[in-house]
Structure 1
Amino acid sequence: MSYLIKNVSILGAAPGDLLIDGGVIAALGAATEGVEGAEVIDATGLIALPGLVDLHTHLREPGREDAETVESGTQAAAMGGFTAVHAMANTDPVADTAGVVEQVWRLGREAGYCDVYPVGAVTVGLAGEHLAELGAMADSAARVRVFSDDGKCVSDPALMRRALEYVKAFDGVIAQHAQEPRLTPDAQMNEGELSGRLGLAGWPAVAEEAIIARDCLLTAHVGSRLHVCHVSTAGSVEIVRQAKEKGWNVTAEACPHHLLLTDELAATYDPIYKVNPPLRSAADVEALRAGLADGTIDIVATDHAPHPHEDKDCEWAAAAFGMLGLETALSIVQETMVDPGLLDWAGVAERMSYAPARIGRVADHGQPLEVGSPANVVLYDPAVRRVVDAAASVSLSRNTPYAGRQLPGQVMATFLRGVPTVLDGKLT
């Protein structure tokens, strides 16, 4: 099927036409001629972006299909404008072998809503004791290039060094969950005056910053690639900035919730706001936005972490860490970065499509909207204002921290290699 998208603004530029034919972008410009039988889409007022790429998604399958499946998670991704996601390894069984990563990869292909690139575990069973089958996962049909024990830190420096050395052979990257476990026993929220007043065990910023500093030094020593997951503090931003100034091969991500929400929400004792790393102070939020704007933080990644009702509808201390993110990420970035003038839409494309595809070594995504490029395209309406309805989520879980909040923008269409997965704001 061919599609002639009329009057669309590519990356916020002057409106023009975009023709999708044969799975690629066939033509661009004013008054573009369609092909016979092409479906015409009036995109007046809409912005065209390249398909978004998420470097940090939890799809839960295998093992926790009560929270999410590859199919439901990729449906949520498509609704959020994503055409590719990287599925984290903390499943059950853990994605620490070629067999498990190939299973996740094949489930993504069968679902067809977006491409799924499994992230391999760094250590066997995420136990932090022995390296997993990194080479076998890299050589598998899934071609794993990102490895992470996300949810847990690779806290042993010798083991982290060996992992960094190992992945050099196939241009892989270690994505670190930066959390010194000896500084965060039973941690519940950001450490500060508020945690003391609420009686919740604190998660100090230094526990994140110490691991990032250590791993930046290890990366420079080994000459490998490090990616820092979910940066959350001003001090972390500064450490990453210094590493980049030295020319070290370090990249970093920020999550939408860390760009918008603060630790003040913990005062409600509502576990919907319990996340790891925790929501931080307003000063940290400001530093994250500045770091994302100036390129110190390379990308936005969702850390989409679905949980069933019973894992969140309980007292704070017993509740699971994590919140949904795929369906609202672009709206949060518009609210926190675009509307205040910190980023333009070309900057959004860099941080949510081009850069994550480069970091994850994904060749078929993160391509500019040019003639001949794969037709991974998102049509987004920035003028819409919508109230987030948790019940309307296509995820199997409902743990969004934005329920009842008004957010800007809505994804109106998502095309994966020229095939619409979302049209008129609905799954196809």
Structure 2
Amino acid sequence: MGKTLIRGAKVLGGEPQDVLIDGETIAEVGTGISAEGAEVIEAEGKILLPGLVDLHTHLREPGREDSETVLTGTKAAAVGGYTSVHAMANTFPVADTAGVVEQVWRLGKESGYCDVQPVGAVTVGLEGKKLAELGAMHDSAANVRVFSDDGKCVDDAVIMRRALEYVKAFDGVVAQHAQEPRLTEGAQMNEGIVSAELGLGGWPAVAEESIIARDVLLADHVGSRVHICHLSTAGSVEIVRWAKSRGIDVTAEVTPHHLLLTDELVRTYNPVYKVNPPLRTERDVMALREALADGTIDVVATDHAPHPHEDKDCEWGAAAMGMVGLETALSVIQHTMVDTGLIDWAQVADRMSFRPAAIGRLEGHGRPVSVGEPANLTLVDSAYRGAVDPAGFASRSRNTPYEGRELPGRVTHTFLRGRATVVDGKLA
């Protein structure tokens, strides 16, 4: 690789600066930089961020390559400005052994578009009965630090305690899908006025909140780290806020769709809005935004959940849960958080790069835009406005809730260790 000069970009939304990339690293940051023979990107008015990091992505491979593969998923990630994603364990076979997590890790290496850090299952087969090979997965080439049965809750308190105790040995973290199964049997959407009017099974907020309350207490008891996946209710925010005030080592994530969409959309019966956890109320949305702004919620995570057309184009009750999100996440965050004045671009970098990399204990990602750091970078045209067209997605699936909706911002360039993976908004 040669040299690339990004000229006049607003680094983390601040004053315009030039950034010179030489090989895999940032060689110089300042103004008036000239570099003979360098490729020059005129970036006046654009925002330069560290490469985004996603703690929660479903890449489906192995086993469901009809909906996504590691290659197509990492292409989608690059288009969205991501340089690293964590691949969830609910594959077929489940990523509950060193062999499977190494397979996913190697597929990520081969893709070349985005680093892939596998998430290991907490329990064998996601069945919640027996701890998976946590130590072996950590000791593998994949160096797994994050463990989750996402898609299912580790509802057995004894199993959860044992997992929290086990991962302490290597500074790991258990990422909990907070959903009390007995309280959500037959649930189809958020429990409330809309579910009552539509006659759909209700998914009560307490099903999430009760698990979070239990798990922060368990984490405190054993002195371990716990991470809350896709937090979605105002009550959950208050529990996490209380836990942090007590010094409990808890972190939490929120998805872009839970910052924008509400259960009122379910009135359309369009299965594109069917997701786990479900879309909540306007009150919940506002509480989540405030919590992300004040740092109670640590990170934005996409919960990118691709599904083939036939799994979504059916009646509501039979439809799969989930939405794709990698290619629209940054636009939704600009729309809901930046353009509303709740956070600035430096805080976007914190919530979508610095903090998720720190939680996952990633090396080389979530680093400052400064000399000597790996050139994992994202250049954003924040002035752009355009309607979402899933036909142009790099993902293999199209189940986006934003089709036709106008959103701000567009990633124009993504660099993975100095190599452009996206140029002018398209895959390199």
CA deviation digits over 1:160-198, x for unaligned, max 9?
000000000000000000000000001100000110110
CA distance in 2, matches of 1:392, 1:357: 29
1:9 corresponding residue in structure 2: 10
The answer for the alignment partner of 2:179 in structure 1 is 179
Cα deviation, 1:35-88, whole Å, max 9, x if unaligned, reads: x32101101111000000000000000000000000000000000000000000
2:418 maps to which residue?
Answer: 418
Structure 1 residue aligned with 2:208: 208
User: Cα deviation per residue 1:202-255 (whole Å; 9 max; x = unaligned)?
Assistant: 000000000000000000000000000000000000000000000000000000
Normalising by structure 1, report the TM-score. Answer: 0.99
The answer as to 2:149 corresponding to 1:155 is no
Task: List aligned pairs for 1:252-291, cutoff 5 A.
Answer: 252-291=252-291
CA–CA distance in 2 between the matches of 1:4 and 1:193?
55
- SS of 1:152 mapped into structure 2: coil
Read off the aligned partner of 1:419 and give its amino acid letter. Answer: R
Query: What's 1:322 paired with?
Result: 322
Q: Distance in 2 between matches of 1:121 and 1:219?
A: 18
- TM norm structure 2: 0.99
Q: Deviations over 1:345-396 (max 9, x none)?
A: 0000000000000000101100000111100010000000010001111100
Unaligned 5+ segments in structure 1 are none
Residues 1:246 and 2:269 are matched in the alignment: no
Q: Counterpart amino acid of 1:5?
A: I
Q: Deviations over 1:139-175 (max 9, x none)?
A: 0000000000000000000000000000000000000
For the residues of structure 1 that align with 2:37 and 2:73, how far apart are their CA atoms? 33
Amino acid paired to 1:49 = L
Per-residue deviation, 1:125: 0.2
Structure 2: which amino acid aligns with 1:19? Answer: L
Does 1:146 find its partner at 2:146?
Answer: yes
- Residue identity (%): 72
| Separation in 2, partners of 1:112, 1:419 | 10
**Superposition pairs for residues 299-378 of structure 1, below 5 Å?**
299-378=299-378
1:33 Cα offset (Å): 2.1
SS of aligned partner of 2:373: coil
CA distance in 1, matches of 2:317, 2:66: 22
Unaligned residue ranges in structure 2 (runs of 5+): none
Name the structure 2 match of 1:100.
Answer: 100
Instruction: Map 1:228-243 onto structure 2 (within 5 A).
Output: 228-243=228-243
Return the alpha-carbon distance in structure 2 between the equivalents of residues 16 and 240 of structure 1.
38
Q: Distance in 1 between matches of 2:380 and 2:424?
A: 10
- SS state at 1:217 partner: helix
SS for the counterpart of 1:91 is coil
Structure 1 counterpart of 2:12, which letter? L
Q: Measure, in 2, the Cα distance between the counterparts of 1:318 and 1:199.
A: 15
Q: Aligned equivalents of 1:199 and 1:421: distance in 2?
A: 47
Paired amino acid for 1:179: Q
Aligned to 2:197: 197
Letter in 1 for 2:353: S
Question: Which whole-Å CA distance do the structure 2 matches of 1:400 and 1:392 have between them?
Answer: 12
The superposition leaves residues 306-328 of structure 1 with CA deviations (integer Å, 9 ceiling, x where unpaired) of 00000000000000000000000
Q: Deviations over 1:244-286 (max 9, x none)?
A: 0000000000000000000000000000000000000000000
**Secondary structure, counterpart of 1:129 in structure 2:** coil
Q: RMSD of the alignment, in Å?
A: 0.5
Tell me, what secondary structure is at the counterpart of 1:108?
A: helix
In 1, distance between residues paired with 2:342 and 2:224? 31
Q: Distance in 2 between matches of 1:329 and 1:427?
A: 17
Distance 1:33 1:27 in 2: 10
CA distance in 2, matches of 1:12, 1:251: 26
Paired with 2:393 and 2:197, the residues of 1 have a C-alpha distance of: 35
Cα offsets for 1:13-47 (capped at 9, x unmatched): 1112110002111001111121x321011011110
SS of residue in 2 equivalent to 1:168: helix
Question: What is the match of residue 125 of structure 1?
Answer: 125
Q: Match for residue 390 of structure 2?
A: 390
Secondary structure of the structure 2 residue equivalent to 1:346: helix
Question: Could you tell me how far 1:98 is from its partner in structure 2?
Answer: 0.1
Q: Give the partner amino acid of 2:319.
A: A
1 CA distance for matches of 2:34 and 2:115? 30
Task: Give me the whole-angstrom Cα distance separating, in 1, the residues matched to 2:251 and 2:331.
Answer: 23
AA paired with 1:180? E
CA apart distance, 1:200? 0.6
Q: Which whole-Å deviations, capped at 9, do the CAs of 1:329-357 have from their partners, x for residues lacking one?
A: 00000000000111000000000000000
SS in 1 for 2:422: strand
Paired residue total: 427
What secondary structure, in the 3-state scheme, does the structure 2 residue paired with 1:285 have? helix
